[in-house]
Chain A
Amino acid sequence: MTDPSNSHDMESEGGIFTPVGSRRTFFTWVSGAIAVFIGVALAVPLLGYVISPSFKRRKKFWKAVGRVEELPVGEPRSLDYVVTEKDGWMETKAVKAVWAIKQEDGAVTVFSPICTHLGCGFRWNPEDSQFQCPCHGSIYDTTGKVLGGPAPRPLDQLPSKVEEGQLLVLYKEFKSGLTEQVEL
């Protein structure tokens, strides 16, 4: 250790010495730089640690929802199926439902069960042959077109295909309340 009393760049006040001038600046600067370095070296990984799950996209799979020949023509059916969803460290089974309508030519249209207005689940009214949302009264026809109410866009169609008589659906969710379709 250097003897503080002999250092020419030390100043004394009542027998207590303290470095002054460029020496003092040097110590201050190094201490500050180390604090900033450690802070940044911790902050970067910790920030990634906190936000990373927020941006993880869910993996999507084609799911069999039912047999095509069981669907009546022109009459929508709500089809339930079970999906395994990864929720953080947990895997949960969730029941999803979609609306499927077989057209006259045999093609099947699949709608997301969520109203495009504010995300309620809409119903099928067989008397009026309309989809009606109980929350704010949006009305759609069997092609998904808006007939009335506050809905900003037609019903969201989901990708679907038929393999060996099975109707397969790729479940997606979209932001509600927009005129454009934006996937979640």
Chain B
Amino acid sequence: MASRLYEWLDSRLRLKPIGKTLLDEPIPGGASWNYVFGSATLFLFVLQAVTGMFLTMYYVPSTDHAYDTVQYIQHEVMFGWFVRGLHHWGASAIMLAIGLHMLQVFFDGAYKPPRELMWMVGIVLFLLMLGFGFTGYLLPWDQNAYWATQVGINMAGRVPIVGDLMVKVLRGGETLGALTLSRFFALHVLFLPSMIIFGIMLHLFILRRVGPAGPWDEKKAKEGSETFYPRQVYMDAVVMLGVFLIVATLAATIEFPLADKADPSDHSFVPVPEWYFLFYYQLLKYVHGPLEPFATWILPGLFFLMLFLLPFLDRNPQRRISRRPVTLGVGMVFLVIVFGLLGISLRDLYAVPKTDPSVIRGKELVVKFACKTCHRIHGEGAAIAPDLSFVADRRPDREWHLRHFRDPQSVSPGSFMPKLPLSDRQLNDLTSYVLTLKSGV
């Protein structure tokens, strides 16, 4: 049936020569598992495009509704949590895939002549992808989105002369608000996709014009080429399946939680960037004073410029890594620094909080004593008494809470908080729990 349809179409559209050009592309040295990273990246891009299109079906880019619509997708639309999970984990996966793709090309020396243009277009694609990450992060309009974007935009403001202008243009005004959200949305779903699709086409066009690099070992390369189809297609497909299963499993098992709705007046919130920006976030913690502009924009600027011009900076004609000591050394030092900083940052972020059993008991006491009859905690409960969502930011002092629970009016005169009949242990547990109610947890 399918083949008859193909014959019918071919007799009119002459498809066979196109199929032959697309599928019989020669791969020097034969198909290899080393060449799957580009296809994996392309697959993830398609996955992001598809899930992104479906997310826009319910998402509204206005500060009034954005947060509610993401909540709606997450909790009310059938499989909404899964589609959002795929998009979230897919974004991380694509960064990882690009990283591996670049490392493979770098260590294989595949950026060397005549493939300089393919590498340079690839760097532009990488920058566009970082743009997707930055603009997409704001869209849920929760505390993390708001404050992380605030920091990101302010970093652009450190650039001399044009910094202020750039900040104003990015925000669409003096403050981060409705205009910022709608322009980030437009960039994320219309401008960047049209640019990146053009870039991807160019990247693939160049690939087809110059051909794949093949193995650096010339003897191996001379043994002959193999057609792209079917063995390389098969290898790419197997890797795509693996990538899909990993992303789908993460999406199905680990929910990416929303923080509270963005609150521009809450300056106590400490945002944490996505893991692929973490090494840079950590670097900025070490650099102060006159060196700060160096780290915020001179270093990244130089890094991307050097990366872009790499095929012209590295004039060593050898592709074999053991004959390229300088490139190898620079590459390894870079990786050690990036992963070192990432490791330190992850340790700082995730090693500390282990839920204390006392905290769990304290949380149960909140239910037992019906604290939410008056207090609101992360959107649950009445708003009669103070909102406790981030009470530990305002009151980090343990002693204060202990005294307050024993006799509320002794530290907070005029409060209508009742004196709870708490045992010493319950007093301690409740205080431990209340102290966990802070931002950035």
Contacts and interface: CB of A to CB of B under 8 A. Distances in A.
Given A17-B225, A34-B237, A89-B71, A28 B54 contact: no
Interface stretch (B24-32, B335-343, B425-433): B24-32
- Most-contacted residue by chain B among A28, A38, A48 (CB, 10 A): A38
A24 interface: yes
A18 B227 contact: yes
A126 interface: no
Assign chain A's interface to a size class.
20 to 34
A182 interface: no
B240 A46 contact: no
Contact of A38 (B26, B226, B241): B241
Nearest to A91: B68
Given A45-B79, A89-B71, A24 B230 contact: yes
B224 A42 contact: no
A48 to B, nearest CB: 4
A71 to B, nearest CB: 37
Interface string A8-46: 001010011111000010011011001101100110011
Interface in B226-279: 226-227, 229-231, 233-234, 237-238, 240-241, 244, 248
Nearest to B222: A15
Interface in A66-104: 88-90
A93 to B, nearest CB: 16
B230 A19 contact: yes
A4 B215 CA distance: 14
B241 A34 contact: yes
B57 interface: yes
B244 A41 contact: yes
A184 interface: no
Interface in A39-63: 41-42, 45-46, 48-53
Contact of B83 (A3, A37, A49): A49
Contact of B231 (A27, A37, A41, A49): A27
B78 interface: yes
Chain B, interface residues (CB within 8 Å), range: 35 or more
A14 B237 CA distance: 27
Contact of A46 (B32, B54, B60): B54
Main secondary structure of the interface of A (DSSP, over half): helix
A50 B78 CA distance: 8
B50 interface: yes
Nearest to B233: A31
Given A18-B24, A52-B78, A12 B224 contact: yes
B82 interface: yes
A19 to B, nearest CB: 6
A109 to B, nearest CB: 37
B241 A48 contact: no
A116 B58 CA distance: 33
A41 B241 CA distance: 11
A16 B225 CA distance: 5
Interface in B351-405: none
Contacts of B78: 45, 48-49, 51-52
A46 B233 CA distance: 26
A37 B241 contact: yes
A32 to B, nearest CB: 8
A179 interface: no
B65 interface: yes
A30 B234 contact: yes
B69 interface: yes
B72 interface: yes
Contacts of B248: 41
B38 interface: no
Contacts of A48: 78-79
Given A16-B224, A16-B226, A89-B69, A53 B32 contact: no
Contact of B230 (A1, A12, A31, A45): A31
B227 A16 contact: yes
A24 to B, nearest CB: 6
A5 interface: yes
A75 to B, nearest CB: 44
A46 B83 contact: yes
Contact of A16 (B24, B60, B72, B230): B24
B349 interface: no
Contacts of B234: 27-28, 30-31
A38 B226 CA distance: 27
B224 A5 contact: yes
Contacts of B60: 89
B223 interface: yes
A89 B141 CA distance: 15
Contacts of A90: 65, 68
19 contacts: A1-B29, A15-B225, A17-B30, A18-B227, A19-B230, A27-B234, A31-B230, A34-B241, A41-B248, A45-B82, A45-B83, A46-B83, A48-B78, A50-B54, A52-B77, A52-B78, A89-B71, A89-B72, A90-B65
Given A5-B224, A18-B229, A27-B230, 11 more contacts: A15-B224, A16-B224, A17-B227, A18-B24, A18-B226, A34-B241, A49-B54, A49-B77, A49-B79, A88-B58, A88-B69
Which 9 interchain pairs have the tightest Cβ spacing? A52-B78, A27-B230, A45-B79, A89-B72, A27-B234, A18-B227, A48-B78, A31-B237, A34-B237
